[in-house]
Every structure is written in structure tokens, then in C-alpha cells.
């Protein structure tokens, strides 16, 4: 009987500890995510895609399944500066912000292709063209994810 | 740097996260893709030369450290050696190069300016570029290592991206600062293309998207004393690059000699490893604790 009581007490203690960890880590995780987001990001006004480039449609717009490949590329190429969820680290843009998401697919493609030397973003023209469009496709899902979180 | 920081620097290097390098499979030709700012690329490569019958096989290993200073400026430091069958292994010298990209945006033709200082001896066989006339390789390494040359090399790199193809042309001028040999000239042309245009969703290593194939053509164009193709070496070299992981790659290239002054075959091999945010990590070692 005493053995059973002791086992129950140990189980209760373990559950209490798990609850403390979850309650403690939850706000920390949220705070971490918020801190990882570069909400103060100010776009470079002189970094604008030329009108013909901005007007280019994404040739993969009708194939949303390709966004999964875009996510893989994003994590490899972009996440180091923009964060795994695109929230922006250091000086890099928060890609979830409306100021970014309002831009056309063509404008985002142009920015990936050309980079912005003033802000330290390299040109990624070495990445195959269709893969750059895949990244654009994935960037659109970041906005959808944010809406879902609301 | 305080020596106490050395183990920490090694640990930081090992723990640095992986990054995706902009892939270039060339051995000799340069395109307009520079190293990402703050990143360090470490490469070890070897040039195995199969000469004509009766001449000894040679191997020329090379260590390259490439650092992205700015988005428009990449610097690189080389250490090289050479080992020859029935002879010896020698250190052949060092090189320091800088590449500058004057135009910020992508254009139909993207120029890059290249400047390199070489402090090498006559035993050098890495063949990072070919200039001037074909050189004989008859003397023993003991003699070759005594003949030093300080050279200044400049290149005009023109590179274009057409859909998924890269097309690059390099024009080379080299001046020996130790001896008056006039100016020596060379060229290098290259094309490459990834084997897959679309990235798959799965994290695969052997799928086509991780391979890039290309072709290089390079050789000497004589000197101001005798310009042209006479007595020059030229090579045609298929290249293939495999991105083994997100941060490392293996590059292979068998180069076929096209003239009597060329070696019949060169076998080139390179392993590359990219270190992300290297500059920032090193700078943090020197930062004040406050």
C-alpha cells in the first residue's frame, strides 16, 4: 500500500514539474518568437523593382504544391537572415509584414535575383530561375500562416 | 589574438550553422557570383597531371580560403604545393586575390574586376589560370623551387545568366615583377547549368537538383613578345559539382589537352566547405565584455 502511495506521489511530482516547464516555456517561446521578428523593419525606399520586372507573373502560381520545395530552399538560403518563419533577424526584412506581402510576385523575384548591396543582401541570381519563383511561392504562404495564427 | 581564445575559435567554427553556397562548378573560370558577406569558404583541391609518355605524373594540391568582405568584394588566399613522381614534394607559394563587382544590379553582362598577387616558384602546377606559352617540366623540383616569381595578375570577368545557364568569359593579363618577360595573356570560357530546374520537397542528396554540370575551355595566348596560339597550352574540361550537404560540395573535372604543348590529361578534384557568419564570430572574440 505504502509502495503504491509513494508511486502515486512520484507521478504527481513529475506531472507538476512538467506543468511548470510547459507554463514557463510557453511564454518564453512566444517572447522568443516575437523577439525573432524584426517588427521595426523599415524598407529601403530606393530598392524598387522596375515596372516590367514587377509586372512579371509567377509561372508557378497555378502549382501551389511547389511551395514545399520553396520552403526547403528558403530554409537553406534565406532563413539565416530572415529567420525560419521569415520574421527577419538583425537588419533583414520581416517577410510577413504587409509592406513586403503587398509587393507583386515579380517584385519579390527581382529582389531575390538582384539583392541590395546597401543593406548587405547578396544577389541570388546563381539559384536557378524556377527555384527563385518557388521561393516567391513559399513567401506567400508566410502571410497565410500569419493570418491563421490570428 | 589571445591564445586562450584559440580553442573557442575552433569550437565556434565547428558549431557554425550550414549555409547554401551559390554554386559555381568551375575550376579556372570565374563568374560574377561572389562570396556572401561575412562567409568563409574553405576549399582543398588537387590537380593531377598525366603528362606525355616518359614524363613523370605530378600532383598539385591547393588550399583556398575565400571570404566575402562586402556584397561587391571577395578576397581569397591560396597556399599551394606540388609533388612529382620519382622526385620530391615542395611548397610552391601563395597567392592573394581580390574580386570586385562594380555594378550593383544584374545585367545582361556582369563585369567583375580581378586582381591577384602571386609569390610562387617555377614548380607551381595548380594551373588556376593558363597564360603565355606552354612551359616544359623537365627540371627537377630542387631547381624549380629556387626560381621565384612575384607576379601581378588581372582579369576581366564577364558573366551572364540566361535562364538557368551561366556563360562566363575571362580575359587574363599577367606581369612578372621579378623578371622582364613582358605581359602574358590567357583566356578562359565556361558554361554551366543545374541538372534540375525545380526543387523537390524532400530533403534528398542524390537527386538532380544537387548537381551542376558545365564545360570549360582555357589556355594561354602568348605574350607581348609573341602573341597568339603558337606554342601554347589549351584544355577542354567538362565539370560536375555535387552539393553533398547544404554547406559542402565536391567538384570534379577531367581536362583534355588540345595542343602538343598541353598535358594529355588533367584530373581535378575539389572539396568545399562554407562557414556562415565567420567574420561576425571572429569579431565577437575581440569585442569588449561590457
What is the mean pLDDT of the segment spanning B240-268?
Answer: 95
Start-to-end C-alpha separation, chain A: 50
pLDDT digits (tens, 9 = 90+) for B120-138: 999 999 999 999 998 877 8
C-beta neighbour count of B286 within 10 angstroms: 9
Q: What are phi and psi of B228, to 5 degrees?
A: 135, -170
pLDDT digits (tens, 9 = 90+) for B43-81: 999 999 998 877 889 999 999 999 999 989 999 999 999
Cell of A92: 533583414
Most A-contacting residue of B20, B163, B203, B275 (CB-CB within 10 A), to test interface: B20
pLDDT: which is higher, B23 or B50? B50
**B178 has a pLDDT exceeding 80:** yes
Q: Return the pLDDT at B14.
A: 40
**What is the full DSSP assignment across B99-129?**
EE---SS--SSEEEEEEEEEEEETT----SS
Q: Return the pLDDT at B151.
A: 96
**B154 has a pLDDT exceeding 80:** yes
pLDDT digits (tens, 9 = 90+) for B94-117: 999 999 999 988 999 999 999 999
Q: If you compute the radius of gyration of chain A from its CA atoms, what whole number of angstroms results?
A: 22
**B228 has a pLDDT exceeding 90:** yes
DSSP state of B37: B
pTM (2 decimals)? 0.81
Are B105 and B65 contacting, i.e. CB atoms less than 8 angstroms apart? Answer: no
A72:B201 CB<8 A:
yes
Cell of B285: 572574440
What is the mean pLDDT of the segment spanning B198-218?
Answer: 93
**What is the full DSSP assignment across chain B?**
--GGGHHHHHHHHHHPPP-PPPP---SS---S-PPPBT-EEEEEEEEEEE-STTSPPEEEEEEEEEEEEETTEEEEEEEEEEEETTS-EEEEEEEEEEEE---SS--SSEEEEEEEEEEEETT----SS--BS-----S-HHHHTT-EEEEEEEEEEEEEEETTEEEEEEEEEEEESSS---EEEEEEEEEEEES-SS--SS--SSSGGGEEEEEEEEEEEEESSSBSSTT--EEEEEEEEE--SSSEEEEEEEEEE-STTS-SEEEEEEEEEEETTHHHHHHHHHS---
**B7 has a pLDDT exceeding 70:** no
pLDDT: which is higher, B231 or B5? B231
Q: Return the pLDDT at B172.
A: 98
Are B44 and B19 contacting, i.e. CB atoms less than 8 angstroms apart? Answer: no
Q: Determine the topology of domain A51-149 in CATH.
A: Cytochrome Bc1 Complex; Chain D, domain 2 (1.10.760)
Distance between CA atoms of residues B36 and B66, nearest Å:
10
Q: Of the given ranges (B31-40, B227-236, B278-287), which has the lowest mean pLDDT?
A: B278-287
Tell me the average pLDDT of chain B: 89
DSSP state of B36: P
A126:B166 CB<8 A:
yes
Which residues of chain A are under the pLDDT cut of 50? 22-23, 25-36
Looking up cell 611548397 gives: B91
Q: Return the pLDDT at A37.
A: 52
Q: Of the given ranges (A79-83, B18-22, B246-250), which has the lowest mean pLDDT?
A: B18-22
| Band (B242; pLDDT cuts 50, 70, 90) | very high
Are A58 and A67 contacting, i.e. CB atoms less than 8 angstroms apart? Answer: no
Distance between CA atoms of residues B35 and B38, nearest Å:
8
Q: Return the pLDDT at B2.
A: 46
Q: Return the pLDDT at B104.
A: 84
Element housing B188 (H / E): strand B183-194
Q: Return the pLDDT at A56.
A: 94
B198:A134 CB<8 A:
yes
Smallest CA–CA distance from A67 into chain B, residue: B201
Residue-range domains of chain B with CATH? 3-289 (2.40.160.40)
Task: For residue A131, list chain B residues with Cβ-Cβ distance below 8 A.
Answer: 197-199, 209
Q: Return the pLDDT at A25.
A: 46
Task: For residue A115, list chain B residues with Cβ-Cβ distance below 8 A.
Answer: 71
B164:A130 CB<8 A:
yes
Q: Return the pLDDT at A14.
A: 66
A71:B201 CB<8 A:
yes
Query: Burial, A52: exposed, middle or buried (Cβ in 10 Å; 0-12, 13-18, 19+)?
Result: exposed
Task: For residue B164, list chain A residues with Cβ-Cβ distance below 8 A.
Answer: 128-130
Q: Return the pLDDT at B265.
A: 96
Parallel/antiparallel/unpaired status of strands B40-50 and B234-242 = unpaired
A124:B22 CB<8 A:
yes
Task: For residue A126, list chain B residues with Cβ-Cβ distance below 8 A.
Answer: 22-24, 31, 33, 161, 166
Q: Return the pLDDT at B73.
A: 94
Smallest CA–CA distance from B101 into chain A, residue: A117
Facing residue for B199 by CB, picked from A72, A121, A122: A72
Q: Return the pLDDT at A145.
A: 67
Facing residue for A129 by CB, picked from B22, B24, B163: B163
Amino acid at each position: 500500500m505504502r509502495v503504491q502511495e509513494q508511486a502515486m506521489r512520484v507521478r504527481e511530482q513529475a506531472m507538476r514539474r512538467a506543468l511548470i516547464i510547459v507554463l514557463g516555456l510557453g511564454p518564453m517561446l512566444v517572447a522568443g518568437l516575437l523577439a525573432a521578428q524584426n517588427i521595426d523593419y523599415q524598407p529601403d525606399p530606393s530598392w524598387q523593382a522596375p515596372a516590367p520586372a514587377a509586372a512579371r507573373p509567377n509561372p508557378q502560381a497555378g502549382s501551389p504544391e511547389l511551395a514545399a520545395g520553396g520552403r526547403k530552399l528558403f530554409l537553406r538560403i534565406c532563413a539565416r537572415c530572415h529567420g525560419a518563419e521569415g520574421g527577419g533577424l538583425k537588419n533583414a526584412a520581416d517577410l510577413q509584414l504587409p509592406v513586403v506581402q503587398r509587393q507583386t510576385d515579380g517584385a519579390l523575384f527581382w529582389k531575390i535575383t538582384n539583392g541590395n548591396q546597401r543593406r548587405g543582401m547578396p544577389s541570388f541570381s546563381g539559384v536557378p530561375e524556377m527555384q527563385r519563383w518557388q521561393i516567391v511561392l513559399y513567401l506567400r504562404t508566410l502571410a497565410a500562416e500569419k493570418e491563421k495564427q490570428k | 589574438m589571445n591564445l586562450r581564445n584559440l580553442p573557442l575559435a575552433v569550437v565556434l567554427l565547428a558549431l557554425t550553422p550550414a549555409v547554401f553556397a551559390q554554386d559555381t562548378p568551375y575550376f579556372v573560370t570565374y563568374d560574377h557570383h561572389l562570396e556572401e558577406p561575412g562567409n568563409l569558404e574553405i576549399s582543398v583541391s588537387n590537380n593531377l597531371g598525366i603528362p606525355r609518355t616518359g614524363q613523370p605524373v605530378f600532383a598539385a594540391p591547393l588550399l583556398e580560403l575565400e571570404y566575402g568582405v562586402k556584397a561587391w568584394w571577395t578576397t581569397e588566399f591560396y597556399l599551394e604545393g606540388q609533388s612529382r613522381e620519382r622526385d620530391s614534394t615542395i611548397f610552391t607559394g601563395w597567392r592573394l586575390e581580390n574580386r570586385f563587382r562594380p555594378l550593383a544590379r544584374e545585367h545582361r553582362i556582369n563585369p567583375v574586376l580581378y586582381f591577384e598577387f602571386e609569390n610562387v616558384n617555377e614548380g607551381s602546377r595548380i594551373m588556376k589560370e593558363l597564360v603565355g606559352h606552354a612551359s616544359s617540366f623537365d627540371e627537377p623540383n630542387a631547381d624549380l623551387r629556387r626560381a621565384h616569381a612575384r607576379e601581378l595578375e588581372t582579369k576581366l570577368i564577364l558573366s551572364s545568366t540566361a535562364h538557368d545557364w551561366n556563360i562566363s568569359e575571362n580575359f587574363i593579363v599577367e606581369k612578372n615583377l621579378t623578371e622582364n618577360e613582358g605581359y602574358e595573356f590567357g583566356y578562359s570560357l565556361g558554361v554551366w547549368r543545374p541538372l534540375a530546374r525545380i526543387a523537390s520537397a524532400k530533403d534528398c542528396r542524390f537527386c538532380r537538383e544537387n548537381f551542376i554540370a558545365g564545360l570549360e575551355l582555357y589556355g594561354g595566348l602568348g605574350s607581348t613578345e609573341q602573341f597568339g596560339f603558337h606554342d601554347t597550352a589549351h584544355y577542354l574540361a567538362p565539370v560536375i559539382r555535387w552539393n553533398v550537404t547544404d554547406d559542402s560540395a565536391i567538384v570534379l573535372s577531367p581536362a583534355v589537352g588540345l595542343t602538343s604543348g598541353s598535358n594529355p590529361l588533367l584530373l581535378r578534384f575539389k572539396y568545399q566547405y562554407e562557414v556562415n557568419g565567420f567574420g561576425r564570430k571572429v569579431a565577437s572574440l575581440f569585442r569588449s565584455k561590457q
